[in-house]
Amino acid sequence: MFFLYNLVVQIAGFLLKTVALFSPKIKLFVDGRKSVFSTLSDKISASDKTIWFHAASLGEYEQGLPVMEQIREKFPTHKIVVTFFSPSGYEVRKNNTVADVTVYLPLDTKKNAQTFLKLVHPEMVFFIKYEFWPNYLNELKNQNIKTYLISGIFREKQSFFKWYGGFYRNALKNINYFFVQNENSKKLLQNIGFHNVKVSGDTRFDRVVSILDRDNSLDFIEQFRNDTTTIVIGSSWPKDESLLINYINQSDDNLKFIIAPHNIKPEQIQQLKSGIAKKTVLFSEKENINLADYQVFIIDTIGILTKIYSYADIAYVGGGFGNPGVHNLLEPATFGIPIVIGPNYSHFAEATALVNIKGCISIANQNKLNQAFDLLTQNEDERYEKGHICGTFVQMNKGATNTILKHILT
């Protein structure tokens, strides 16, 4: 089976090089891996002690960040190596401050795994949430390197739990310990013979709780908001925006909106702006104007949405009309504000929980969106209660990082 797997990986590597000629994203994927080994050779010496974290993409990096920060504090003489599989993670976080070295993970061939581990020679390895690369895991086992899965989540539909999933079940045998998010994941692993499992919870809660301790102030948002009830729309897609624009255009003048779209390509930003009848300003246009005079503020930049959520009275989180569904609810939730989302959220445990406990409202059409926003803007008690539920939910679920560290250090 390893022969067939390695053949597929080799073919995929060849095809990716061809596709890269036509796809900018795949070109980043391919070109970014060309210098990995030389970078590792330059930045890591044979005498260095190292700890390696692997994240599939940006979401997994953010999920693992609290553990990375604690490991950095507990092992100050070790170098932290972070790898990404996808360009959407690497390109955004390649200049992060928690790692000493950040690179793409070379494709999962036996030779790549051996070369990578020879250069990095980690004492411990953490895979975040998922991505189980058989060659890397096999080499880690062969070299007796402690390997952990953190914030893991498993579902019955995965191949590990099917009659044909023996190859990947064997790959899991190379992991020393599983820290999973929920009891269902633990039971699924136990049902196939894994008992080195602990329900630690989701480290994302620790990350978003830590946001409250930092400086979230933004002078230009304060000027725009001007003590007016404000709805912050984060990570919106066109399907979200078509409903939101209709509501914005018929809303009262004593309500303001901040929109941070998922995609900030100029043509899409202009299309969004052109559909709004209210007085609208872009982040890129904000200099030397009185932002308080505007009702809609479109954020055509990245990296500040979390801070913007701290100014929200109500949050709308986009993605819920697409596949796989809604974006990150925990960032607005940690600020104790009510949240509105689209209908596709069932793949996300925190979204499902927040809807069930009524901190979050799921809407499926224009009428439901109008009702949700009218309720939250016109009824302060309802707005406060749902916000309190969201904030409490985050606080009650923190602590995964401490559980993981306690186990590792004892």
User: Tens digits of per-residue pLDDT, 103-128?
Assistant: 999 999 999 999 999 999 999 999 99
pLDDT tens digits for range 351-382: 999 999 999 999 999 999 999 999 999 999 99
- pLDDT confidence band for 88 (50 / 70 / 90): confident
Give the H/E segment covering residue 186: helix 183-191
> For the whole model, what pTM was predicted?
0.87
Q: How far apart are CA 26 and CA 81, in angstroms?
A: 23
Beta-carbon contacts of 149 under 8 Å, excluding residues fewer than 6 positions away, are 126, 127, 128, 129, 130, 175, 177, 178, 179, 180
Q: How far apart are CA 67 and CA 78, in angstroms?
A: 14
Q: What is the DSSP string of 337-358?
A: --EEE-S--TT-HHHHHHHHTT
pLDDT tens digits for range 291-311: 999 999 999 998 899 999 999
pLDDT, position 275: 97
pLDDT tens digits for range 318-330: 999 998 899 999 9
Residue 57 in 3-state DSSP? Answer: coil
Contact indicator for 354, 329 with CB cutoff of 8 Å? yes
The mean pLDDT of 5-11, rounded to a whole number, is 92
Six-digit token pair at 123?
A: 């004492």
| Number of residues that this document lists for the chain | 410
Angle at 262 between CA 261 and CA 264, to 5 degrees: 70
Six-digit token pair at 250?
A: 């018929």
Q: Which long-range contacts (CB under 8 A, 24 or more apart) does 242-251 make?
A: 243/363, 243/365, 243/366, 243/369, 244/316, 244/369, 245/272, 245/275, 245/276, 246/366, 247/366, 247/369, 247/370, 247/373, 248/276, 248/277, 248/278, 248/295, 248/296, 249/276, 249/277, 249/278, 251/278, 251/373
pLDDT, position 79: 98
> Could you give the residue ranges of the DSSP H alpha helices within 192-260?
204-211, 219-225, 238-250
pLDDT tens digits for range 51-82: 999 999 998 999 999 999 999 999 999 999 99
Q: How far apart are CA 359 and CA 361, in angstroms?
A: 7
What domains can be seen in the chain, in order of their start residue?
A: 1-201 (3.40.50.11720), 216-396 (3.40.50.2000)
- pLDDT confidence band for 203 (50 / 70 / 90): very high
Catalytic one among 60, 62, 241, 350? Answer: 60
Match 């309500």 to its residue by tokens: 255
Query: Does the active-site annotation cover 60?
Result: yes
pLDDT, position 67: 97
pLDDT, position 145: 98
Q: How far apart are CA 272 and CA 118, in angstroms?
A: 50
pLDDT of 200 above 90: yes
Give the H/E segment covering residue 260: strand 255-261
